Chains A and B, each alone.
Chain A
Amino acid sequence: MKPESLVSITDFSKEEILDLLQTASRFEANPNQKILEGKVVATLFFEPSTRTRLSFETAVNRLGGRIIGFSDASTTSSSKGETLKDTIMMVSNYVDLIIMRHHLEGAARYASEIASVPVINAGDGANQHPSQTMLDLYSIYKTQGTLSNLNITMVGDLKYGRTVHSLLMAMSHFNPTFHFVAPDELKMPIEYKIFCEQHHIPYFEHSEFSEDVINQADILYMTRVQRERFTDLMEYEKVKNVYTLHNSMLEHSKDNLRVLHPLPRVNEISYDVDSNPKAYYFQQAQNGLYARQAIICKVLGIEV
């Protein structure tokens, strides 16, 4: 039987997403359960990402599993020219599950096709990072009590920000209204706007990050505006502070509004927001543990 892998959030149906949220909340209530006793999990980080790796490894440890792997490809045989295929074939022989991150796009899909065990994509270049999306969904669900009928306002780099693209696709099951706030150079790509139209999802585009937009929002999803993304550095200097959230801008926002950010942040959320109860980005990162525990059990076919 071909194992079930998680490469892209679109691999999961609406029902599967809702199930995963339930499982995640059970893990939040009781994160230490010895369900992976006797199992070995490989964390193959061909590209370093300490934040994601620690979150996954904590998830495995709290479930009683054991871990092998590497956190940097320069120490592995792939730096000696071994193909991804050969590495995956070898590791599949040893473990029950592979969690991998790779700088090449599509690497996880390819690995999932050749591995004899399930593969969880922990990020493949600029392509997919579905466990991030699951923790975003879980954070939205927890703070709003539902995923349905919400106003989701996305701010910053909507062109290259893969987290906003995956979140958009995943939220499409739940009748959202989107507001896209971005500078011209970093607007939401046309394919995602077409996707919204095909799914009858209303969306509104803004270049100004105004209180008017903030005051309607249930979720304010902030992203990093990175200097490297600009062809014109003058343009970057012009916009870099325009998409910064300050505490004063939240004054007339809805009570249920929560501010999310995939982290790490640079200057897009000012530090005076941190103590506002509407700031949720640190808890959001913690939710990653429960979301990842839920994903691990799901791909291994373990009922929780």
Chain B
Amino acid sequence: MNVEKKELKVAALENGTVIDHIPSNQLFKVVSILGLENCPNSITIGNNLASKKIGKKGIIKVADRFFKEEDLNKIALVAPEAQINIIHDYQVTEKRKVSLPDVVHGIIRCSNPKCITNNEPMETIFHVVDKVNIQVKCHYCERSVSKDEIEIC
């Protein structure tokens, strides 16, 4: 009983953003995409939870923080099934899916060590060439990177 109560307390969010249905092996990439390492708000992270949809899932709850849509959409790079719940006053006021943008600024590191982006102080730009299988192409060196090879900076 006691344990359950504790769980409930952690799970409840008065105001903030919940990111659900993250594949377990991508959870920490989502953390870096949103820059949560440096976020002072209270954050709850759960991982390896049972999910009917994707096997094992991760979930992130960030209190009192509402992200820009374009930032949330970057999650689709590693977690295309992720679901966003916006919470106000303990109520889900908005529920939506993430969708991959055509162009991603920053976030992705080019896997080509000879790429200019790895040798100059500059932001990377990637074009999303395949939204279904998730393949991106470096705007500068033109190297293609598939979903499993995407490195987050």
Interface residues of A, Cβ cutoff 8 Å to B: 8, 83-85, 102-107, 109-110, 124-128, 191
The yes or no answer to B112 lying at the interface (CB within 8 A) is yes
Other-chain residue from B112, B115, B116, B142 in contact with A128 (beta carbon distance below 8 A): B142
Q: How far is the CA of A153 from the CA of B144 in the complex (A)?
A: 26
A87 to chain B, nearest CB (A): 11
Stretch from B13-21, B31-39, B41-49, B117-125 at the A interface: B117-125
Stretch from B4-12, B61-69, B86-94, B133-141 at the A interface: B133-141
Known: A105-B141, A127-B141, A191-B144. A110 touches B121 (CB 8 A): no
Known: A84-B116, A104-B116, A105-B114. A110 touches B142 (CB 8 A): no
A115 to chain B, nearest CB (A): 14
CB-based contact B114/A126 at 8 Å: yes
Known: A125-B114, A126-B114. A105 touches B120 (CB 8 A): no
The residues of B that contact A107 with a CB separation of less than 8 Å are 116, 140
**Majority SS at the chain B contact face:** loop
CB-based contact A83/B120 at 8 Å: yes
Number of interface residues of B (CB under 8 A): 16
CB-based contact B142/A8 at 8 Å: yes
The residues of B that contact A103 with a CB separation of less than 8 Å are 114
Q: How far is the CA of A110 from the CA of B114 in the complex (A)?
A: 14
Q: How far is the CA of A125 from the CA of B121 in the complex (A)?
A: 19
Known: A125-B114, A126-B114. A85 touches B142 (CB 8 A): no
* 15 A-B pairs with C-beta separation under 8 A: A83-B120, A83-B121, A84-B120, A103-B114, A104-B116, A105-B142, A106-B117, A106-B140, A109-B140, A110-B116, A110-B122, A124-B116, A124-B141, A126-B114, A127-B141
Other-chain residue from B116, B121, B144 in contact with A106 (beta carbon distance below 8 A): B116
Known: A102-B116, A105-B112. 4 other contacts (CB 8 A): A84-B116, A105-B114, A106-B138, A107-B116
A58 to chain B, nearest CB (A): 28
Q: How far is the CA of A109 from the CA of B142 in the complex (A)?
A: 10
B71 to chain A, nearest CB (A): 23
With both beta carbons as reference points, the residue of chain B lying nearest to A104 in the complex is identified as: B116
Question: Restricting to B94-153, which residues have a CB under 8 Å from any CB of A?
Answer: 112, 114-117, 119-122, 138-144
Q: How far is the CA of A109 from the CA of B122 in the complex (A)?
A: 13
The residues of A that contact B122 with a CB separation of less than 8 Å are 85, 110
CB-based contact B121/A104 at 8 Å: no
A44 to chain B, nearest CB (A): 14
Q: How far is the CA of A8 from the CA of B112 in the complex (A)?
A: 18
The residues of A that contact B115 with a CB separation of less than 8 Å are 104-106
Known: A84-B120, A104-B115. A110 touches B144 (CB 8 A): no
With both beta carbons as reference points, the residue of chain A lying nearest to B138 in the complex is identified as: A106
Q: How far is the CA of A291 from the CA of B42 in the complex (A)?
A: 62
For the complex of A and B, list the 3 residue pairs with the smallest distance between their C-beta atoms, beginning with the closest: A106-B140, A105-B141, A106-B116
